Amino acid sequence: MELKEVCIQLDQLLMDYFKNLKQLYAERSILDQYMKDGFLNLSRARYNMGVKAVGTSQFSDSMVALTKVDVNDKEQKSSEMFQVHSLRAQTTKKLENSLRNRKQGPENIDGVESGKSEDPVPVDPIKWFGVLVPQNLRKSQQGFKDAVTISVSIANLQQTLSSLQLEYRQLLKTKSKLIKTNDE
């Protein structure tokens, strides 16, 4: 590898680094805006519905996350180390059917059916606060969902920046070795 090739690669890495850094700053400002909007709309919903109507007392004991983040631990060159997976919330019609069929016979006295797992069913959390919730509560939920997605994107960008830094340092060492061999 020649010194000129290493210098060109260093320049290209530096340009990629600054391009990703600019994108990181832009996405962080978008995240800030999503979080501000989410909390502002949540406070408006609390004002409209009452302070005690929107709070932790409405949370279900069997909460299930509707959005999960998977971490790819494998050492790959892919920039997507983190991925978002959204589960679909079950509609109320399916819940009504399951409630209607709960008294099936004397063999299921303890309430456990033999063919079904006991995993909690994901339900849209907005339903915990009633059927007719204020639009501000829906906007708040959407703002926080968008914040999760952009947070994963930020984490992937930070991972990319770390790998670019590592590669840049390795090329810098290679450049210094080439300079030493050319001087001798």
Q: Which residue has the tokens 């590669």?
A: 167
The count of domains in the chain is 1
Q: What is the pTM of this model?
A: 0.74
Q: Is residue 27 part of a domain?
A: yes
Range of the domain at 17: 3-98+120-183
First-to-final CA distance of the chain: 17
What is the per-residue pLDDT across 71-129, written as a single tens digit (0 to 9) for each?
887 665 556 788 888 877 655 455 444 555 555 555 554 444 545 555 666 778 888 77
Q: Is residue 171 part of a domain?
A: yes
Q: Is residue 159 part of a domain?
A: yes
What is the per-residue pLDDT across 149-177, written as a single tens digit (0 to 9) for each?
999 999 999 999 999 999 999 999 999 99
